[in-house]
Structure 1
Amino acid sequence: MTDLPKTMKAMVLKGHGDLDAYEWHEDWPVPELSQHEVLIKVGACGLNNTDVNTRTGWYSKAVDQATTGGAYETVDDEDPTWGGRPITFPRIQGADVVGRVVAVGPDTDPSFIGKRVMVDGWLRDWSDPDNKDKTGYYGSECDGGYAEYTKADTRGIMVVNSDLSDAELATFQCSYTTAEGMLSRANVVAGDTVLIPGASGGVGGALIQLAKRRGARTIALASEAKHAEVAALGPDLILPRSPDNLRAALGDEKITVVADVVGGPLWPQLIDVLERGGRYTCSGAIAGPMVELDLRTFYLRDLTFTGSTVIPPHIFPDVVTYIERGELRPMLAATYPLRDLPKAQAAFIDKAHAGNIVVVP
């Protein structure tokens, strides 16, 4: 690292709160490397809901509101992160990193230098990689990519060969691995019909593409202003975001899977439209985490519910392979300079764009 700068520009989260909890620094220390680590010059870093929810403390059981992106009146100190544990501040967030390796740690293969890489959002115990209790998240349990440089374990990165730009590649990691994890948990196969609330978002758009890749039929729910952008992803049917009567809007469609990151007031209707033996899979609740369930619907219809957070280690490499084959389309909605991260996150929260927002150092 002798030829590299000692300090860097970084957007640093100083505590839970509103967007003013971020603090811009131009002299933050460049990360020091340990064994099996590489230093990455960040080309682009995508935004995701985990960053928003961790900043605000939304994951805390003390919060029962929809994701607002603002500070909450009460956040318990013991469970404000995705894993139900405290977070250490200051913290550099940002999980969706794409960049080039510029240095390697002790005893690390120097051939990584110069390679363009994507970082897996999941931090694993590499002696026990399938153990969900031993996982962390990039930009939560360690510093992430909202900076000029970041570091990562070589076992948690993938060299990527693609004509896509860094900003386009930075739209994939969180959204597409989350979506693939959901579809895997629900065992989606050809012949399924998958209902996708929030289809104009990053995960929603990824669900459309990845479910179609499996041969499933897809039905998207999205605000009508974004139907044209959602249509470009190829769903079989697009409906309004929150139909008054979802069953009537679906007509004769038989829904075998609901893949949901929205929750909120529409949730009971999502469950009601599932066919007998149907599967509901969830990886978010941006419209509200508190919902009502009639247990009779659940057991009399033989439904299966699966939560999906920590994904198996193979999913990230699988998604990178799909990217390299040109099987997936990036959903780059907008790019912002890293220093404008608060503005970028405000646009992300307001759902001002369909698709993903990326910051560039």
Structure 2
Amino acid sequence: MSAHTEIPKTMIGVVLTGHGGPDKLEYREDLPVPTIASDEVLIRVAAAGINNTDINTRIGWYSKGVKSGTGTGTAEGQQDDDASWSGKPLEFPRVQGADCCGRIVAVGNDVNSKRIGERVLVRNMLRHYVGREPYKCWTFGSECDGAFAQYTKAPAEETLKVDCDWSDVELGSIPCAFSTAENMLHRANVKSGEHVVITGASGGVGAAAIQLSKRRGAYVTAVGGKDKTKDMLAVGADQVIARDDDLVSKLGKNSADVALDLVAGPLFSGLLDVLKQGGRYATAGAIAGPLVELDVRTLYLKDLSFFGCTFQEDEVFANLISYIEKGEIRPHVAKVYPLKEIGAAQEHFGSKKTSGKLVLEIP
């Protein structure tokens, strides 16, 4: 291992001790600093965003035993074997945190020591640890420790340098939300001039999807909370429909090329109705509930294409870095919390009262 400064033996961090409420998050000042392998880097974390995936993992929402929307999980103390996003049992204790902005402070023996000092973002869907097999990946902060600590480690090849004038907090708001959104657009092949309908558009991923759709030249209809209309318009939406309004009566049948759905639940069938013949439906979330009613005739008679979007090809995150460096997207941070207040930050996130990202500053 190569390092320019002395690395401490212990660090401050938050560990998840089991599935459940915020009480399962334990703030510690004696966690061991990670030991890196020859192909990894050690990162001094500066900022980490709050995301649905970290909360869903904590509460066990990914278990197939949960039938309702996000914010509900497995029964207290229940350790479902499929209560992680990958469907495999989560290992505790776990340092969560899918978003990581920081600086490389040490590198493994197979990594160029010139990388020490780089400001970086970590690809939140890691392919390195699963042999880069198609459609297989680990989530940073789920299958391995993440960014809710002073130090973290990651594969060197999946730790990307960023050159921009953004603050650490702004950069820390980007990885999970924007890569999820960009992956949906990438998989659905959104093109200039197309009409894209985005549900959950007032949340972090939805707001990112608005920006990224406009970057591609699409026309965007955002569906979200009525009280956040101004926020959705401010990040680029061409029109906004309140989530409680009837989508079909507002847009008309066969009016959109692509649906980017983060909500599912009762909205699902209406989304398929507004898609044109040959339309594309992409999803990366189910905020309103994972179980939907599908009339298969709509699927095949309209020649629709469905895209489930979790695994990310390498170019998705690399493209995102280039958009940042070219000034083609911008962050939207609503509030910054100290790491010690992670429970309050996640409760704030769950209230859905704020547009923009909530980000933890790491001491």
Q: Residues 69-114 of structure 1, C-alpha deviation per residue, up to 9 Å, x if partnerless?
A: 5653685632111111111100000011001111122232111111
Contact 1:13–1:55 at 8 Å: present in 2 too? yes
**Which residue pairs with 2:341 in the alignment?**
340
Structure 1 segment 1-361 matched on structure 2, within 5 A: 3-68=6-71, 72=75, 77-125=80-128, 128-133=131-136, 135-243=137-245, 245-250=246-251, 254-361=255-362
Q: Residues 248-302 of structure 1, C-alpha deviation per residue, up to 9 Å, x if partnerless?
A: 2225882111101111122221112111111110000011001111111111111
Structure 1 residue 185 displacement after superposition:
1.3
Distance in 2 between residues matched to 1:30 and 1:208, nearest whole Å = 38
* Structure 1 residues not aligned, in runs of 5+: none
For the residue of structure 2 that corresponds to 1:278, the secondary structure is strand
285-294 or 182-191, which deviates more: 182-191
Structure 1 residue 22 displacement after superposition:
0.5
AA in 1 matched with 2:46: G
Distance in 2 between residues matched to 1:70 and 1:339, nearest whole Å = 23
The percentage of aligned residue pairs carrying the same residue is 48
AA in 2 matched with 1:97: C
Contact 2:15–2:94 at 8 Å: present in 1 too? yes
AA in 2 matched with 1:121: N
What is the TM-score when the length of structure 1 is the normalising length? 0.95
Structure 1 residue 35 displacement after superposition:
0.5
Distance in 1 between residues matched to 2:204 and 2:113, nearest whole Å = 34
AA in 2 matched with 1:43: A
Distance in 1 between residues matched to 2:349 and 2:171, nearest whole Å = 18
20-29 or 123-132, which deviates more: 123-132
Structure 1 residue 56 displacement after superposition:
0.9
Q: CA RMSD in A?
A: 1.7
Distance in 2 between residues matched to 1:258 and 1:4, nearest whole Å = 47
Structure 1 residue 128 displacement after superposition:
4.5
For the residue of structure 1 that corresponds to 2:214, the secondary structure is helix
Contact 2:254–2:276 at 8 Å: present in 1 too? no
315-324 or 268-277, which deviates more: 268-277
Runs of 4+ deviating beyond 4 Å: 73-76
Contact 1:63–1:75 at 8 Å: present in 2 too? no
For the residue of structure 2 that corresponds to 1:92, the secondary structure is coil
Distance in 2 between residues matched to 1:341 and 1:109, nearest whole Å = 34
Contact 1:52–1:69 at 8 Å: present in 2 too? no
Distance in 2 between residues matched to 1:187 and 1:306, nearest whole Å = 11
Structure 1 residue 129 displacement after superposition:
2.5
Contact 2:254–2:277 at 8 Å: present in 1 too? no
AA in 1 matched with 2:345: A
* Structure 2 residues not aligned, in runs of 5+: none
Distance in 2 between residues matched to 1:157 and 1:212, nearest whole Å = 27
Contact 2:20–2:76 at 8 Å: present in 1 too? no
Mark the CA change 1:335 to 1:355 in structure 2 (over 3 Å): closer, same or farther.
same
Contact 1:16–1:57 at 8 Å: present in 2 too? yes
Q: Residues 216-269 of structure 1, C-alpha deviation per residue, up to 9 Å, x if partnerless?
A: 1110012121111111111111111221x2122225882111101111122221
